[in-house]
């Protein structure tokens, strides 16, 4: 297959996969959390079987398995995830292609993807850039990875390339806590000795990640006597960005001014009846006892805070009755207990952060979730102690761990990745600290901790562009082509005995 045919194959797959809604939902415990993910798994399974591969739907997602043509070669696996983030709309994704000539890319809804915001964008002059209409995310994270691996499989079929065993692990619910990867049984589901995940920015080779924990604060509703009041909905507007890159992506945290809004409601003798949102925006429904108390809400209307957060008051007025509400003083205390300089907005590089993620009203409770992240385990312990001290009753759970130390025992996985990426035309390979969870960490570490478990070292390679988890997400054809070729050279490394 010539480059033009590869480009056509990977583009067509990418568009087809992006247009299937596979948004995952953190609030749903089943895996997959949404039916679109299984629909995509089934489609990929059919496509792989049409190419002559074995495809099996598994509890973790889909496994595509090649024959083992060449004996005594080290089995390897490629990974990518089927789901997309719920942080932006997933429904009705329409992929637009742009022949990039430099400067801003204007999206159909008027939004702009600008080199000011995405420093690396200018490197793609002459490339084809994929975006959404600006109304939804694109889904390049991680459908670029899926498309690249599927095109790689197609190439092997068409060209009859000799290979050892290659397993492709396409996982459910990565975005909601690496749930699919955690369901891969290393002893039964794959023969791989190394797993190369394609779930990263073009040009990046991820070899570490945070140590992560999550804090959860639950507030039960408190019964109030029948309460006749006047209500309003207050919206606190921030700017959403992937929190690990909050500082460079201009994140404005809507949580920061939430304590002040809650205090204003309290001063008006009001009750919060519902609250929902995250760092990009929080909606608060509140009721006050008299029409006169509504004045407190007018103070908040169109208020702009110094950090760029804005409060807007909607639906003010009309008497209503309520039977319950929430005392959110512990929520305010929790938020105020996190120093600004360790928030997601203020940290980057090797720095850790503590950041409230979302707040929801569900089943008569308000639940606030907070992310605790650090590359150093001892710093993570300090973060936990700080949160426990500021917030009585908070529950803290460990989530994932940095795999960097474990990878030092198998340096060949990184060396071969660097070689394959270079061969594939990646000009400057970058290994910045990965400021988010990766399946590579799960594969490398999770089973190393169990007695019978087998450790499968894994690194995370580039496939998509930037702006992931937002409406400004983009991906490039060149980046996907390099991912296809990287997979080809990894196959060759296994055949040649470099792994």
Q: Which positions are catalytic?
A: 83, 174
By CB under 5 A, the residues from 172 to 191 that bind Zn ion are: none
Best CA proximity match to 305, nearest among 329, 331, 282: 282
Rounded Cα distance between 168 and 146, Å, is 9
For residue 435, the 8-state DSSP code is: -
Size of the site for Zn ion (CB under 5 A): 3
Q: Which residue, 75 or 436, is less far from Zn ion as judged by CB?
A: 436
Q: Which residue, 309 or 438, is less far from Zn ion as judged by CB?
A: 438
- Cβ 444 to Zn ion shortest distance, Å: 16
Reduce the secondary structure of 353-406 to three states and give it as a string. Answer: EEEEEEEEEECCEEEEEEEEEECCHHHHHHHHHHHHHHCCCCEEEEEECCCHHH
Q: Which long-range contacts (CB under 8 A, 24 or more apart) does 266-270 make?
A: 266/329, 267/296, 268/293, 268/294, 268/295, 268/296, 268/297, 269/293, 270/229, 270/296
Q: Which residue, 7 or 201, is less far from Zn ion as judged by CB?
A: 201
| Angle separating helix axes 329-336 and 377-390, nearest 10 degrees | 140
Q: What is the helix (H) or strand (E) element at residue 10, kind and residue range?
A: helix 3-18
Q: Which stretch binds Zn ion (CB under 5 A): 47-55, 56-64, 140-148, 455-463?
A: 140-148
- Cβ 315 to Zn ion shortest distance, Å: 37
Are 356 and 280 in contact by the 8 Å Cβ rule? The answer is no
By CB under 5 A, the residues from 38 to 97 that bind Zn ion are: none
Are 295 and 346 in contact by the 8 Å Cβ rule? The answer is no
Q: Which stretch binds Zn ion (CB under 5 A): 107-115, 135-143, 359-367, 405-413?
A: 135-143
End-to-end CA, the chain: 26
Are 169 and 78 in contact by the 8 Å Cβ rule? The answer is yes
Q: Which residue, 9 or 142, is less far from Zn ion as judged by CB?
A: 142
- Cβ 110 to Zn ion shortest distance, Å: 27
* Matching residue, tokens 């997959």: 32
By CB under 5 A, the residues from 192 to 211 that bind Zn ion are: 199
Rounded Cα distance between 9 and 13, Å, is 6
Out of 21, 86, 142, 202, the only residue in the binding site for Zn ion (CB under 5 A) is: 142
Q: Which residue, 83 or 191, is less far from Zn ion as judged by CB?
A: 83
Rounded Cα distance between 359 and 217, Å, is 9
Q: Which stretch binds Zn ion (CB under 5 A): 137-145, 350-358, 372-380, 411-419?
A: 137-145
Q: Counting contacts by CB under 5 A, is residue 141 touching Zn ion?
A: yes
The distance of Cα 8 from the centroid of its chain, to the nearest Å, equals 27
- Cβ 81 to Zn ion shortest distance, Å: 6
Q: Which residue, 200 or 221, is less far from Zn ion as judged by CB?
A: 200
Residue 157 backbone dihedrals phi, psi, to 5 degrees? -65, -50
- Cβ 82 to Zn ion shortest distance, Å: 10
Are 61 and 41 in contact by the 8 Å Cβ rule? The answer is yes
Are 139 and 146 in contact by the 8 Å Cβ rule? The answer is no
- Cβ 253 to Zn ion shortest distance, Å: 22
Q: Which residue, 257 or 486, is less far from Zn ion as judged by CB?
A: 486
- Cβ 83 to Zn ion shortest distance, Å: 9
Supply 210's token pair: 């945070």
Q: Which residue, 87 or 142, is less far from Zn ion as judged by CB?
A: 142
Rounded Cα distance between 208 and 196, Å, is 14
- Cβ 284 to Zn ion shortest distance, Å: 31
Interacting residue ranges for Zn ion, rule: CB under 5 A: 141-142, 199
């Amino acid at each position: 297959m010539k480059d033009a045919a590869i480009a056509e194959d990977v583009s067509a797959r990418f568009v087809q996969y992006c247009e299937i809604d596979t948004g995952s939902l953190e609030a749903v415990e089943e895996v997959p959390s949404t039916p679109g993910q299984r629909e995509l798994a089934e489609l990929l399974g059919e496509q792989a079987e049409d190419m002559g591969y074995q495809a099996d739907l598994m509890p973790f997602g889909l496994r595509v398995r090649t024959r083992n043509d060449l004996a005594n070669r080290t089995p390897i696996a490629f990974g990518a995830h089927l789901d997309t983030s719920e942080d932006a709309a997933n429904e009705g994704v329409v992929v637009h292609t742009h022949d990039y000539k430099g400067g801003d890319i204007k999206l159909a809804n008027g939004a702009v993807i600008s080199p000011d915001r995405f420093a690396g964008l200018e490197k793609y002059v002459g490339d084809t850039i994929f975006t959404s209409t600006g109304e939804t995310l694109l889904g390049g994270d991680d459908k670029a990875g899926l498309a690249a691996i599927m095109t790689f499989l197609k190439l092997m079929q068409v060209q009859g390339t000799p290979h050892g065993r290659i397993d492709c692990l396409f996982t459910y619910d990565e975005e909601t806590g690496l749930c699919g990867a955690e369901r891969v049984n290393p002893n039964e589901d794959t023969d791989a000795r190394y797993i190369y995940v394609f779930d990263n920015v073009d040009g990046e080779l991820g070899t570490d990640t945070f140590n992560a924990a999550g804090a959860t604060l639950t507030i039960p509703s408190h019964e109030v006597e029948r309460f006749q009041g006047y209500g309003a909905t207050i919206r606190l507007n921030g700017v959403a960005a992937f929190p690990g890159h909050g500082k460079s992506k201009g994140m404005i945290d809507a949580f920061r001014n939430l304590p002040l809004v809650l205090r204003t409601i309290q001063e008006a003798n009001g009750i919060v009846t519902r609250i929902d949102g995250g760092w990009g925006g929080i909606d608060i429904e509140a009721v006050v006892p008299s029409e006169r108390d509504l004045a407190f809400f007018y103070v908040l209307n169109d208020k702009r805070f110094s950090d760029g957060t804005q409060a807007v008051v909607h639906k003010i007025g009309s008497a209503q009755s309520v039977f319950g509400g929430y005392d959110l003083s512990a929520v305010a205390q929790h938020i105020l207990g996190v120093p600004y300089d360790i928030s997601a907005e203020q940290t980057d590089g090797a720095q850790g952060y503590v950041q409230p993620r979302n707040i929801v009203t569900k089943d008569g409770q308000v639940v606030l979730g907070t992310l605790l992240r650090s590359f150093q385990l001892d710093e993570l312990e300090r973060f936990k102690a700080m949160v426990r001290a500021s917030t009585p009753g908070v529950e803290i759970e460990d989530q994932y761990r940095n795999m960097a130390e474990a990878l030092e025992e198998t340096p060949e996985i990184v060396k071969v990745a660097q070689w394959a990426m270079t061969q594939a035309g990646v000009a400057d390979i970058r290994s910045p600290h990965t400021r988010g969870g990766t399946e590579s960490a799960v594969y490398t570490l999770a089973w190393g901790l169990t007695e019978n478990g087998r450790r499968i070292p894994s690194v995370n390679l580039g496939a998509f562009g930037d702006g992931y988890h937002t409406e400004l997400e983009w991906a490039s054809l060149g980046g996907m082509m390099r991912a296809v070729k990287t997979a080809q050279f990894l196959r060759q490394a296994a055949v040649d005995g470099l792994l």
